Amino acid sequence: MKNIAVIGGQWGDEGKGKIVDYIAKNIDVVVRSQGGANAGHTVIVNDKKYIFHLIPSGIIHENVKAIIGNGMVLDLPELMDEIRILNKNGIKTAGRLFISNRAHITLPFHKYVDQQSEKISGKKKIGTTGRGIGPTYMDKIARVGIRVADLYDKNVLKEKLEAGVGKANELYGRLYGAIPFSYYEIAGDLAAYADMIKPYTADTVFLINKFVKNGLSFLLEGAQATLLDVDFGTYPYVTSSNSSIGGLFTGSGFNPFLLDKTIGIFKAYCTRVGEGPFPTEQNGDTGEFLRQKGYEFGATTGRPRRCGFFDLVGAKYSCMINGFSDIALTKLDVLSGLESVSVCTGYEIEDKRIDEFPSQISILAKAKPIYKIFEGWNDNIRDIKQFDALPVQAKKYIKYIEDKLKTNISLIATGPERQNLIER
């Protein structure tokens, strides 16, 4: 299998970083195509923990080329921090990291309005990461965004930045009483960052296709997840990009017909950070057990993640949209120690059984999960390397999910470290 995509099947934080790290060892090029520093992908190697926000997680492998695609939105200070951390740890970025000249730049007023609008929306807030993602994509869609290439065109940059700062000061001053943003300060910072990232910038659309022609293999690393997709997710409690399969192509210029395998990443249970409906959420002891045992705290914001049982209705929907050829089931070890483990097989909404994931959150919010209950297991499974060696109850649980999703669960993660993985 040459070209592989890895996509979150639930509400994010499924363990994409860990699976990307595992697959990337046999891959030439890893590409991120959407989202920005809202993502937090964790890779743990020899007790060293890396959290990637913008740079593709596969960069840890020294032969991998890493590409930040055209569909991403870039927080430049964050990007430089990540580059510095990698370099400090002996991971070279020169000649291996490429940044699309079409990617959009997140500016200080994007972050400001993201945080401020959340603050004043009270109960109606989305629970964003506050990284300016939505406002940066708003400017992109409104065709006023600043792209990486613009940083090197004085006149275009001046015109766009003056307009952007002017609008921000006018609007946010009135709405939120914002202290005026300084064009000169932002322009000065951008000029400094433009110099720093210059060696990495490229027309990655052509670069990717040149690499394809030269026979290199690809791993498309999804960020966020299908139920957070702006079109397919629990709108408006979603992110502002297409975080299911389509976004991987529009955000990179990689030819969709060259993809050989699409792996859906699912946690063995379910989590969500931020607001929005979550039918299988557990607010009592079970939720707390999963949060503590699974260390369910956001890799980007540190917020506690909401925890609950595996939801087959959402998972089936996710499989349908992405056409997963395989599934990686992660964090199975976290379930060890529960007396019983439940799987949601359908929803009851206003006395009717529903098997299709609702398009409206007002309906989803009324969903009562119908559960199938499995006997739990107690064993520590972290070092198990063979599927057959898993506790019989765990095997039953996995086979049931596999059967219902009609998709092979070919990878099972049993701990956060690189080596905690079962290949089937």
Range 71-130, binding ligand IMO (CB under 6 A): 126-129
Report in angstroms how near the CB of residue 39 gets to Mg ion at its nearest: 6
Beta bridge partners of 99: 68, 201
Kindly give the pairing relationship between strand 340-349 and strand 352-354.
antiparallel
Q: How many CA atoms lie within 13 A of 125 on its CB side?
A: 17
Q: Choose between 72 and 334: whose C-beta lies nearer to ligand GDP.
A: 334
Q: Choose between 330 and 414: whose C-beta lies nearer to Mg ion.
A: 330
> Does the footprint of ligand IMO cover residue 247 (CB under 6 A)?
no
Range 15-54, binding ligand IMO (CB under 6 A): 38-41
Closest of 272, 299, 276, 266 to residue 287, by C-alpha: 272
Q: Choose between 247 and 346: whose C-beta lies nearer to ligand IMO.
A: 247
Three-state DSSP state, 190? helix
Q: What, of ligand GDP, Mg ion, ligand IMO, none, does residue 271 touch, CB below 5 to 8 Å by kind?
A: none
**DSSP H helical ranges for 38-96:** 76-88
47 is annotated as an active-site residue: no
Report in angstroms how near the CB of residue 20 gets to ligand GDP at its nearest: 7
> Does the footprint of ligand IMO cover residue 334 (CB under 6 A)?
no
For the record, the structure tokens of 384 come out as 């198990």
> Does the footprint of ligand IMO cover residue 131 (CB under 6 A)?
yes
The one catalytic residue in 28, 41, 61, 326 is 41
Report in angstroms how near the CB of residue 423 gets to ligand GDP at its nearest: 13
Cβ atoms of 252 and 313 within 8 Å: the answer is no
Cα–Cα distance measured from residue 409 to residue 401, given in angstroms and rounded to the nearest whole number: 9
Exposure string of 218-256, with b = 16+ CB inside 10 Å and e = fewer, is: bbbbbbbbbbbbbebbbeebbbbbbbbbbbbbbbbbbee
Q: Choose between 148 and 401: whose C-beta lies nearer to ligand GDP.
A: 401
Cα–Cα distance measured from residue 60 to residue 99, given in angstroms and rounded to the nearest whole number: 17
The one catalytic residue in 13, 150, 311, 333 is 13
Q: Choose between 40 and 346: whose C-beta lies nearer to ligand IMO.
A: 40
> Does the footprint of ligand IMO cover residue 291 (CB under 6 A)?
no
Q: Which residues are near Mg ion by CB under 5 A?
A: 13, 40, 299
Cα–Cα distance measured from residue 40 to residue 43, given in angstroms and rounded to the nearest whole number: 10
Q: What, of ligand GDP, ligand IMO, Mg ion, none, does residue 414 touch, CB below 5 to 8 Å by kind?
A: ligand GDP
Q: Choose between 35 and 279: whose C-beta lies nearer to ligand GDP.
A: 35
Cα–Cα distance measured from residue 193 to residue 195, given in angstroms and rounded to the nearest whole number: 5
Q: Which residues are near ligand GDP by CB under 6 A?
A: 8, 12-18, 40-42, 44, 294-295, 299, 330-331, 333-334, 413-416, 420
Query: What count of residues does the chain have?
Result: 424
For the record, the structure tokens of 324 come out as 């997963």
Report in angstroms how near the CB of residue 130 gets to ligand IMO at its nearest: 7
Cα–Cα distance measured from residue 424 to residue 390, given in angstroms and rounded to the nearest whole number: 12
> Does the footprint of ligand IMO cover residue 226 (CB under 6 A)?
no
Cα–Cα distance measured from residue 219 to residue 5, given in angstroms and rounded to the nearest whole number: 6
Beta bridge partners of 7: 264
Q: Choose between 277 and 369: whose C-beta lies nearer to ligand IMO.
A: 277
Task: Please select the residue that binds ligand IMO; options are 226, 240, 242, 282, rule is CB under 6 A.
Answer: 240
Cα–Cα distance measured from residue 39 to residue 240, given in angstroms and rounded to the nearest whole number: 12
379 is annotated as an active-site residue: no
Three-state DSSP state, 330? strand
Q: How many CB atoms lie within 10 A of CB 382?
A: 15
Instruction: List active site positions.
Output: 13, 41
> Given the rule CB under 6 A, which residues bind ligand IMO?
8, 12-13, 38-41, 126-129, 131, 133-134, 223-225, 228, 239-240, 273-274, 299
